[in-house]
Structure formats: structure tokens, C-alpha cells
Structure 1
Amino acid sequence: MTTYPKKALLLALAAATVAAGLTATAGPAGAAVPKLDWKPCAQPGGPAAQECAVLPVPLDHADPGGRQIHVAVSRVLSDRPSARRGTLLVIPGGPGGSGVQRLTQKGAALQRELAGAYDLVAFDPRGVGASTTASCGLAPEDRYLTSLRSWPGPDGEITENVERSRRIAEACDRNGGPELRSFTTANQVRDMDRLREALGERRLSAWATSYGTYVAAEYAQKYPRRTDRWVLDSSGDPDPARVARGWLANMSRGADDRFPDFAAWAAHPDRDGDGLRLAARPEDVEPLVVALAARLDGEPRPSTTPGVPLTGNGLRQALQNALYADAAFPSFARLVKAVQDPAATPALPPELARPIRDEDAAVMVGVICNDVAWPGTSTDAYRAAVAQDRARYPLTAGMPVNVLPCSFWKTAPAQAPAPITDDVPSDVLMLQSRRDPATPLSGALKMREALGDRARMVTVERGGHGLYLGNGNACGDRAVTTYLTTGRRPARDTYCAN
């Protein structure tokens, strides 16, 4: 994945914020839509023509004339105006993913693939990046990925998880304010439509990935006549009673679906050449990783990051991250090799080596807890669920069903999520990996069922998460490109061999 100087992009967006304050105003319903004041913000590795602006949106869409907050937006105009047919919105995953960053990473590839058919537009949802943020004021130790993900302790103990979850919920209630309470999928959908208005578009096309597919599905449900060509890449189960709780629970199955790809790679004789072969047979790789994680549970290893040892849960989380893309397999294999070597000092993956920024933690927790009410399940019930999941899915060790701050959340959701139905135009193309560690095929099939004749689904014989122009294959990429550029979808659900 392409990286870019985040500080430079944030500075560019900050400048755009000042300009927006001078040129854009948002008034009550019926007032003029604010003008987007675009400024150059190209970053190394991204499109040379990338521009940034800021869109004012109501903190509370029920009070459109009230307090306004800002949403950072970015675009890359079509480089072939004669071929342009509309605007393609790039919707990131998360919650907490940056659309502006996603456009920086994927904009050049989209330009090549779509041959000028669209202006490419993205935005940072409220709470993300250079958009209006909130803070829960969490201690650093509560902001590591292995803490926010609620990995159980050795032998499945969850007492510390319960205490941390309650502490995080109380801190967010105390410090998050109305901004944090506004971080919902429903508001992201309304902000998207505000952006559509500001762009002067009657309808939008979209490419959404991961959590973004749920955002896109909710937008199409609420504004069915404002969608054009809609691509959902790596979808989860849209069950309105569970939402993120269901997505997390499904990760146990997702890891099991995907791990055989890593095991086959790690046991292949080709790994001997680079010293990364972990076992002679694929079936021996999982017991090895599970045993190493259990050993680290009892004896964490000092790492190259002072004060941050590699724990069993650190190894498990590193595995989850590595399963997203084949390109990450070598780095995880090197970590396993370092753990096996008593003389080595393991180097933590960057995402595990330091706490997550407090504002980023706030939006990650805020959206999933604000969207839908979580059951106030007893500690004993969580303990039993974790024990059962650990036994069935050793790779995820009970984390996907463990307690989270949402069980102690102080603010009730403003509204229930809208069920996804088939009672709108048929303009959705789904792209799905057969072995997705985060949004497994079993969950995506629930989205497919909910959409009914609105959608066609292309299933790709690949492992990984987020397929188009990344982890997929030529057949799947071609299906998406053909749909976005010509409007032609497969006549029925179809399959792409690897």
C-alpha cells in the first residue's frame, strides 16, 4: 500500500479549512449549498492533480441551520473531459478509514483503469483525519490496537477486558462531547449527500471497500434515486440488529477461511531460499503459530521498541493484519522466525509498536457504539462466549466475541440502522474474495441476500481483503472496470478463477 506524508496532507487541508471559512457558508434548509474552495494538495506517490477542500456539514442534521462542523474532501478531476460521465466517490473502510488517504493511494490506478470516465472524489468521515475530530482522553495503554481489539488474557481471562471497556466508555462519555456522539454511519450517509449537492451532481457512482460497503448500502437505501453505478468490494453482514458486533464475530470464521493460504505459502519449499519456511507441511503451520502465541502469553519477549514487548496477543494481532494481503506474508513469517530464535529481538509491526492517536481511537470506538445498542451481557456470559470461540477458532483466541466499550456505552443510538432491502434500483455490483479474513464470504452472502435483484455478485478465487486494483485478479478487476465504464454487469452472479 502506498504511503504518503500525512502531516503535509493535513497541513494542506488545514489551509483549505481557512479558505472554506471565508468562502463557504452553510445555512438552514433551503439555503445555498456551500462552495468548495479547491486547493492543490498532491502528495508523493499520489495523483499530481489531487486537490483538497473542506465541506461544512451540520453537527446535527435534524438542525441544519445549527452548529456546523467540517469534513475534509479531496478530488482528482477527469483527465479526459470528453470521456467524463460523472463522479465516482471512493468510500474507505474502518470505521476510521480516511477517504482522502485512500484517494491518494488509489487515484493514479483509478485514472489509468477508468480512462477519464469520472472525477474521483473522496472525503474523511467526521472524526477522521483533517475533518472535525473528538477525543476520549484515553490513557496510552488503552489505545494500543491489542487493547482496543479486546484480546483476552492468557487462558481466556477477560477481567482486564471488562475493566478496560468500562473505563473507555466512561472516558468517552466524559470527554467526547456532541462531536463524538455524532459519529455514526447515518451521519456519514447524510454528509455524503451534502457532498453530492456541493459537487452539483444529481447522482453519484461509488467504489466502497470493507465497512464502506455498509455505508454505501445505507446511502443507496436512503437515497435510491441518487445512485448511479455502485460497487461494494468486500462486504459484511448488514444485519441491522448487530452491525459491527456481527462483523467482529465473523472475523473468527474469516481467519479460519484465510489462514490456509498463509500456511501453504509458509510451508512451500520456495521459502527455503529466503529463510522463511515455517514448516514442512501446511497443516503444521497453525499449531506452530498457536503454540508460539501461547508461549508469549506466559513469557512476552522484549522487542526493538523499548517498553513494548511482543505478547501472545501481539503475535495474534500481527497475524490478523498479515492475512489481509499476500504481500504481508513475508513480514509475519520473519516475526515468527524471530520468536523462534532465542537470540533474536523481534521487531514489532509499526501498527503495534505505538498507541493509536486518541482521536483515531475515539472514532473507531464511537461509530460502532453509536450505531446500534449493544446488549449489556453479563461478564459470565462473555466469559462463556470467549471460551467457546477460543476452542473453535484458536487463531483468534476469543477476541471477536469479547466485551467492548459498547456494552457500557452511556448514550443510546439516535435511531436504529435501516435494514438493507431489494426495493430500490438494480445498480449494485458486489466483489468478494472467497477467503476474506475480515469480511468473510459467509457474511457477504447475507448482504447479497438482502440486496436481492438490486445486485450481482462476482466471487473471486482469492484470499485477502479489498480486491479491486489490489488483492484481486484480472477477472474481478475487469468486471468492476467494465461496469463502471460501460454500465454492463454480469447477467447473474459469477465466479472468477484465480
Structure 2
Amino acid sequence: MGNIRPFNNPCTMTTYRNISQRALVLALSVAAVAGSLAVGGSGVAAAVEGQGARGIVWEPCGQVGGPVGQECGELEVPLDYRKPGGKQVTLAVSRVRGERPGARRGVLLMIPGGPGGSGVQALTRKGAALQREMDGAYDLVSFDPRGVGGSTTASCGLDADDRYLANMRSWPGPDGEIGENLARSRRTAEACDENGGPVLRSLTSANEVRDIERFRQALGEEKLSAWGTSYGTYIGAVYAQKYPSRTDRWVLDSSGDPDSTRVERGWMANTSRAVEDRFPDFAAWAAHPDREAEGLRLAERPSDVRSLYLTLAAKLDREPKESTTEGNPLTGGMLRQAFLGGLYADTNFPQLARLVQAAQDPAATPVLTPDVAQPARDEDAAVTMAVVCNDVRWPSSVAGYARAMKDDRARYPLTAGMPRNVLPCAFWKTGPAEKPTRITDRGPSNILMIQSLRDPSTPYFGALKMREALGDRARLVTVDQGGHGMYLANGNACGDSKVTTFLKTGERPEKDVYCAS
């Protein structure tokens, strides 16, 4: 999250490359910046309800490895919901029809993570597996939120160096120096203000929720079921708050704290403790005797793995090491960013161990993980930054950021103060035009949450805040393992079965349940 998350997987894969791409989306979601909302809150909900959405023309768009029969289309939605008949923007949408029309339950919406995650790509990746789980009884649908992928996008016009993930996330320099972070944040905010335009200012969580409601109307469905992951859980929770009568069976997978006074600010700050909770899983793995035969054992004790990592990151802050990516040496911030993404799943641990080994070996050249090796597209950087900065007001005191970063760095050394450091949001030219939605327990009791105990991006203690806010509307499935994104992702049969049973039959645990690893 949203990670944010780019941020902002938003979004559940099992190979390192795919998970690192998801990490890029979520990570950007809590690190980047852009314009402000061109939409006011007053009268907007009525405008959404009162205007029928235009139809969608579906065309085949199946891809190798994707679900059979995948179709794609476009949906026009208002740039500004206060002016529903005015300028429109386009959403890329996709669907896979259910294979059992006679047993059709309805529509299951995949809500992508991020901000910045592509729902069309998520449906391509996960659609076949989800079809099997649902036994063909749902039409599976998803979309690229405005600003993402095949939908109308915006641009900040950033130089490539400012679009590297390890730079967009404000990792401090040697000994906590933040001068470069301040300079980059200022020029990023200025570029987005100058180049982003009305589309960039419309990129908000509130508008994504309104766009989903338009999508529902265009599909001709009375209600939607949904599976939202990471940042998508927040979008799902807000939709359920604003349109409770339109929700059928609702799954929130890997949730953050919904505190409406902070939203993305809180998600980012919570990353410090989240990584501290998750890193011991990697340290235990990297110190285990089984790693000897694999050539991946980093130390004899988990505590030594932690010390090695901290020492190495500090050294790379001062002396970056040339990597196999020409012109992009491995820095301390890049190592930390690679770990933040790699901790999303245990399957990434070998890649992280090899990165540490190569960084230590004078004769080796590190191979950068995909999420840090290349700069993000300008459009991808723009959307993740825009949503983060448009959703909520951020403090503007440079001295305040410096103090917060220093305190966080001392308390949570694994993340070196980054989660509390300055972002372009501090220099945003316009503030949010509407307040974030407060999640409450008012509405139908039809929500199932699933959460790992040691999530490096949306930590368990934040998910408990979402659970508390929803009250009797929700039940929580706690999975005793590490990683981000639980359903059909991290291999927990107990957790998967609880979600599948709920979506297929409506049967939900009577109370919160625990699934062992």
C-alpha cells in the first residue's frame, strides 16, 4: 500500500519479477506526488447516481497465459463529477464471462492495488485461477483506474532520475542526510503542478470509487461482489461505505489503517514497524543450515543477518557499488527498497540473499531486482504520486520531517527513516478538495477480511484498525505467516478456502478465525 504501492498494488503473484512489479506499484503509492482534486464533495454522489453510464463495446483481448475468453472495452466517466455532462476520461475495462450461465451468481470485481495498479493486467494474471475457484459462477471483471495503463493518463514530465523507485521513496543519504530528498521533492511537486493538468488533479481515491459505481451501472448489475487487494481494500471499504446497497460479497485482502485523518500518510509511516515485524522471517531463513547446500547462507544466527544487512546498507550509502545495470549503481536506498519489495513473499528470499552476497563480494557485480533497476514510466509515477498527495493534506514543515525522520530512523533502523521522510506532497500546490471518507460499521454484514500476521506493507496492526472500524460488518481471517496479499498468492490453504467458500456460497465464519501457516 500503499503501499502504497505504487504504489499501489496494488496484485498477487508468486514469481519474484511479478511480485516486485506489484511492490513497485504499492511502494510508489506511499512515496510519490502530483496535483489535487478538481472535484468537490457537495452534490457529487447525487451526480453519480443520477447519470446513467454509457454502454461498453467488448472485444476479445486474450493473452498467452491469461484466462480463455477475456474481453476488453472502454468506459467513459466524467473528469469532474460535479459536471457529469462535461469532459470525459476513459477507463480501460476487462471481463471474463462465467462458464456456467445457469448457475450465474453475478459479477466479481477485482479491485487493483497501488495506487497505480492495473486491474486489466491483474485479471489477465489471476483470472484463470479465480475462475477455477469460483467454478465459473461469476463474470470476472476489472479495470485500469484513471491514470493507469490503458485508461486516460497524466504526466508530470519528470526526468528519469526522479522516477527511479529508490529515489521516489525518500530514502535518506549517509547518516540520515535529507538535502537531496528535499530538492527532489520540491522539483517533483513543481513539475506535477506545471504539467499535470486537470486529469492529474482528478486522480483520487474518491473518484476511483465513483468510477466503480459507473462501471457497475454500465454492466447493468444491481450489485457487485469484489476482491480488493492492498490499496484496493481501501477503495473497496470506501465503496462499501458510500454504496452499501450495491455490495454483495466483499473481500478485503491485506488492509491498511483506514484512519480518515491520515490515510496514505498513515500507511507510509506504518511501513517502519511492518518491516521490523517481517524481516525476522528472512533472517531466520538466511541463517538456517539448509542454506549451506544452496550457497545462500548469510550468517549462523538470525541476529547476525540483521547486523550484516544494516552494516551493508550503511556502507552502500557512502560507497555505491556498480551493478549489472549500466549507470545505476547499487546504493543503500536501493538495497533497502529491494528488500521492501522482496519481503512480500518467501519465494523472493533467494534473490535477496544473492543480492546481499554480490554486494559484499569485491569480485561480484550485483544484479538489481526489477523494481529498482529501471525508472518508472512518467505516467506511472504521476498517478501514484497524484493519488497519495491529492487524497489528504500533508505537513509542510521541513524541520518537522527532519525530526520525524531522525526519530523513526533510531527506532526502526531497517527502514532508515524513509517512511517519515519528506515527500513531494509537502510542497503540493493545492490541497485536497474533499475530506477522505470515514469507514464505519453502518451497512450490511457482508465483508470478509484476510490478513497475514507479518505483512511488510499493510501491517497486521493497521488491518486491526480496519476490522475495528467495520465492526459487525466484517469477519477477519488471520493467517500466521509473512507476506503481502494472501488469497491465491502465498499458499495458505486454510485462508484460501475461507475466501473461496464465502465468495461461492456466502458462508462466512461466525467470528474471526485463525489459520496456521
TM-score (norm 1): 0.94
The equivalent residue for 1:234 is: 254
Asked if structure 2 preserves the Cα contact closer than 8 Å seen for 1:57 and 1:194, the reply is yes
Displacement of 1:29: 8.0
Q: Give the secondary-structure state (helix, strand or coil) at the position aligned to 2:413.
A: coil
Contact 1:462 1:472 in 2 (8 A): no
Partner of 2:310: 290
Query: Are 1:89 and 1:207, in contact at CA under 8 Å, matched by a contact in 2?
Result: yes
Alignment of 1:42-121 (within 5 A): 42-121=62-141
**Residue 308 (structure 1) aligned with residue 328 (structure 2):** yes
Cα distance between partner residues in 2 of 1:379 and 1:340: 35
| 1:121-270 mapped onto 2 (5 Å cutoff) | 121-270=141-290
Q: List per-residue Cα deviations over 1:292-341 (Å, max 9, x = no partner).
A: 11111111101111110000111111110110011111111110110121
The residue that corresponds to 2:496 in the other structure is: 477
**Correspondence 1:487 to 2:510:** no
Q: Contact between 1:28 and 1:66, CA under 8 Å: does it hold in 2?
A: no
Please report the RMSD computed on the Cα atoms of aligned residues, expressed in angstroms: 1.5
Q: Distance in 2 between matches of 1:45 and 1:257?
A: 35
Letter paired with 1:482? T
Distance 1:456 1:32 in 2: 34
The answer to whether the Cα contact below 8 Å between 1:157 and 1:383 also exists between their aligned partners in 2 is no
Aligned residue for 1:264, secondary structure, equals helix
Q: CA deviation at 1:33?
A: 3.1
CA contact (8 A) 2:181 2:422 kept: yes
Task: Give, in angstroms, the shift of residue 264 of structure 1.
Answer: 1.1
2:408 to 389, 409, 422: 389
Q: CA deviation at 1:99?
A: 0.5
**Residue 512 (structure 2) pairs with residue 497 (structure 1):** no
Q: Which structure 2 residues correspond to residues 303-382 of structure 1 after superposition, within 5 A?
A: 303-376=323-396, 378-382=397-401
Alignment partner, residue 482 of structure 2: 463
What is the match of residue 17 of structure 1? none
Q: 1 CA distance for matches of 2:407 and 2:418?
A: 11
CA offset digits 1:38-67 (Å, max 9, x no partner): 111111211121110000000011111001
Question: What's 1:14 paired with?
Answer: none
Q: What residue is the counterpart of 2:433 in the other structure? A: 414
Structure with higher RCO (Cα < 8 A, 6+ apart) = 2
Return the letter of the residue paired with 1:159: G
1:35 aligns with 2:55: yes
The CA distance in 1 between the partners of 2:258 and 2:285, in whole Å, is: 33
User: In the alignment, is the contact (CA less than 8 A) between 1:183 and 1:363 conserved in 2?
Assistant: yes
Output one character per residue of 1:133-172: Cα deviation in whole Å (capped at 9) or x when no partner. Answer: 0000011111000111111111111111111111111110
Tell which deviates more after alignment, 188-197 or 380-389: 380-389
Mapped to 2, the partners of 1:314 and 1:79 lie a distance apart of 45
1:281 maps onto 2:301 in alignment: yes
Write the distance in 1 (CA, Å) between the matches of 2:155 and 2:451: 35
Q: How many angstroms does 1:28 deviate by? A: 10
**Letter of the structure 2 residue corresponding to residue 387 of structure 1:** K
User: What is the count of residue pairs matched by the alignment?
Assistant: 476
Secondary structure of the residue aligned to 1:54 is strand
What's the offset of the Cα at 1:429?
A: 0.3
- Distance in 2, Cα, partners of 1:391 & 1:218: 35
Residue 436, structure 1, aligned to residue 492, structure 2: no
- Aligned to 2:489, the other structure's residue is in SS state helix
Alignment-mate amino acid for residue 400 of structure 1: P
Partner of 1:10: none
How far apart, in 2, do the equivalents of 1:349 and 1:276 lie? 17
CA distance in structure 2 between the partners assigned to 1:375 and 1:320 by the alignment: 25
**TM-fit CA distance, 1:93:** 0.7
Pairing of 1:5-24 with structure 2 (within 5 A): none
**Residues 144 and 28 from structure 1, CA distance in 2 versus in 1: closer, same or farther, beyond 3 angstroms?**
closer
1:314 is aligned with what amino acid?
M
Cα gap change, 1:426 to 1:28, in 2 (>3 Å): closer
Query: d(CA) in 1 for partners of 2:261 and 2:354?
Result: 41
Structure 1: runs of 5+ lacking an equivalent: 7-26
Letter in 1 for 2:158: L
Q: Residue 443 of structure 2 aligns with which residue?
A: 424
Partner-residue secondary structure (3-state), 1:467 = coil
Whether the 8 Å CA contact 2:157–2:191 is kept in 1: the answer is: yes
When normalised by structure 2's length, the TM-score is 0.90
3-state SS in 1 of match to 2:484 = coil
Task: Check whether the contact 2:48–2:81 (CA below 8 A) recurs between aligned residues.
Answer: no
Task: Give the whole-Å Cα distance in 1 for the aligned partners of 2:361 and 2:106.
Answer: 56
Give the unaligned 5+ runs of structure 2: 1-12, 22-46
Residues 435-455 of structure 1 show CA distances to partners (whole Å, capped at 9, x for unaligned) of 000000010010001001100
> Could you list the runs of 4 or more consecutive aligned residues of structure 1 that deviate by over 2 angstroms after TM superposition?
1-4, 27-33
Question: Structure 2: how far apart are the matches of 1:190 and 1:127?
Answer: 15
- Which position in structure 1 is the counterpart of 2:419? 400
| Secondary structure in structure 2 of the residue aligned to 1:120 | strand
In structure 2, distance between residues paired with 1:32 and 1:454: 29
Partner SS state of residue 434, structure 1: strand
Task: Report the counterpart of residue 42 of structure 2 in structure 1.
Answer: none
Q: Look up the match of 2:30.
A: none
- Amino acid of the structure 1 residue aligned with 2:453: R
The letter for the 1-side match of 2:275 is A
Partner in structure 2 of residue 11 of structure 1? none
CA distance in 1, matches of 2:321, 2:60: 46
Question: 1:301·1:309 contact (CA, 8 Å) conserved in 2?
Answer: yes
Query: Is this contact kept in 2: 1:300–1:312, CA < 8 A?
Result: yes
Q: Deviations over 1:238-265 (max 9, x none)?
A: 0011000000000001101111111111
Shift of residue 418, structure 1, vs aligned partner: 1.2
Whether the aligned pair in 2 keeps the contact of 1:181 and 1:366 (CA below 8 Å) is yes
Identity of aligned pairs, percent? 68
User: CA–CA distance in 1 between the matches of 2:452 and 2:299?
Assistant: 26
Structure 2 letter corresponding to 1:177: G
SS in 2 for 1:73: strand
Given the alignment of the two structures, is residue 446 of structure 1 paired with residue 429 of structure 2, yes or no? Answer: no
Deviations 1:337-390 (A, max 9, x none): 1012110011111221111100000001000100111121x2222111111111
In structure 2, what is the Cα distance between the partners aligned to 1:336 and 1:315? 8
